[in-house]
Structure 1
Amino acid sequence: MNENQPNTLPPEYFDHVYQANRDPWNFETSPYEREKYADTLAALPRTQYAEVFEIGCSLGVLTAQLAPHCGHLLAVDVSEAALAQARARCAGLPQVEIRQLRVPEEFPNQSFDLIVLSEVGYYWSPADLARAADLLIAGLNPGSQLLLVHWTPPVHDYPLTGDDVHQFFLAKTTENGALRHLAGHRHETYRLDLLEKR
């Protein structure tokens, strides 16, 4: 873990990024993102989930693709600039609720059948990752799933790497047995792991 940058990136960081570029990570146009979204959806072992929580929904590109698999999908992000685009993209999807929320400082008061943490965990400090992990595990119904998908090359601005995030959650499968590992694979620049609450 990169101790030189121990603080979680603040909402202002993301507001500046989205103000400079409406699609800063090319979510809408990148073949990499398109392939990763298809891989993310293909990893889901069920076709339908009653209650789903997506953390860091950004522009809502993955949100719109997840929605047909959800009875109710709560999609959150820290950046209002990103959420405005997500709301427009998902306007015709009544099962999608979009909310500004900062995890782990804020967390919904409900439980979920699936939580998707995609391209978010490396923005947290090690301490916030630990707090978030406890909340995510507590927020899952027994037998429900946590899907992790993260870019793996290091980014000098980010407190952690994708591998740090996944290794932290995978440790939970052995140290306290709260989670079990259902599936996982690594691509050239990202990895995916599917965990289930025991």
Structure 2
Amino acid sequence: MNENQPNTLPPSYFDEVYRANQDPWNFETSAYEREKYATTMAALTKPQYEHAFEIGCSLGVLTEQLAPRCGHLLAIDVAEAPLLRAQERCRHLPQVEFQQRRLPEEFPAGQHFNLIVLSEVGYYWALPDLKRSAALLLEALNPGGQLLLVHWTPPVHDYPLTGDEVHDFFLRTATATGPLRLLNNQRHETYRLDLLEKI
């Protein structure tokens, strides 16, 4: 992992992907995704999170499962098309707020969270943007708050980073300086999960 990685994938990349296919990663139909979502939800250690933040919510499939555990859930995505479908999916959940934002440039300033979910997003950032985003996430996480990382691990040609590089960055930098401790780490055949808690 080095500073000469390809650039962060732009919003136009995702606009084109969703223009070609409404569910390009089979979030709604894949048995793999269902199993991963179940593992994700089971990893959360608290029954309720007052303020939660989901980055890259896409069609809102995981959002809908997270919402009952959240007092308020801010769910963001860079692309408009999946956000519209996510809003429709979660219209029965008044605690969910959807916004179109790009990180790190449009990070929700001044907000603090008890849970931040970064699932299948980190590898879209080039290393400098991962560093900036990580610093903002750690600052926005309340003491005792949790950061849940879940990412596909095989390399993807288009992506600047791999899932392992994203997780290893957080584990190496965030835990080395003391703000986070590791609560849970799991490696599955094609994805990994790490749950970190702010000290």
Q: What TM-score range do you get, normalising by the shorter chain?
A: over 0.9
Alignment of 1:1-198 (within 5 A): 1=1, 5-108=5-108, 109-198=110-199
Distance 2:26 2:197 in 1: 30
Distance 2:91 2:158 in 1: 33
Shift of 1:106: 1.0
Distance 1:128 1:54 in 2: 18
SS at match of 2:189: coil
Distance 1:133 1:90 in 2: 28
How many pairs does the alignment contain?
A: 198
Query: With structure 1 as the length reference, what TM-score do the two structures score?
Result: 0.97
> Do the aligned residues in 2 keep the contact of 1:5 with 1:157 (CA within 8 Å)?
no
Cα 1:111–1:29 change in 2 (3 A) is same
> Do the aligned residues in 1 keep the contact of 2:125 with 2:160 (CA within 8 Å)?
yes
Cα 1:102–1:134 change in 2 (3 A) is same
Shift of 1:172: 2.6
Distance 2:174 2:122 in 1: 18
Using the TM superposition, name which of 170-179 and 158-167 deviates more.
170-179
Q: Over the residues paired in the alignment, what is the CA RMSD in angstroms?
A: 1.1
Shift of 1:178: 1.4
**Matched AA of 1:49:** Y
Distance 2:138 2:4 in 1: 28
**Matched AA of 1:167:** D
Report sequence identity in percent.
73
Structure 1, gaps ≥5 residues long? none
Distance 2:117 2:40 in 1: 9
Distance 1:87 1:49 in 2: 21
Distance 1:150 1:174 in 2: 19
Using the TM superposition, name which of 184-193 and 3-12 deviates more.
3-12
Shift of 1:175: 2.5
SS at match of 1:59: coil
SS at match of 1:83: helix
Shift of 1:197: 0.8
> Do the aligned residues in 2 keep the contact of 1:2 with 1:160 (CA within 8 Å)?
no
Distance 1:174 1:112 in 2: 19
**Matched AA of 1:82:** P
SS at match of 2:65: helix
Structure 2, gaps ≥5 residues long? none
> Do the aligned residues in 2 keep the contact of 1:47 with 1:69 (CA within 8 Å)?
yes
> Do the aligned residues in 2 keep the contact of 1:5 with 1:158 (CA within 8 Å)?
no
Distance 1:173 1:124 in 2: 17
SS at match of 2:106: coil
> Do the aligned residues in 2 keep the contact of 1:172 with 1:179 (CA within 8 Å)?
no
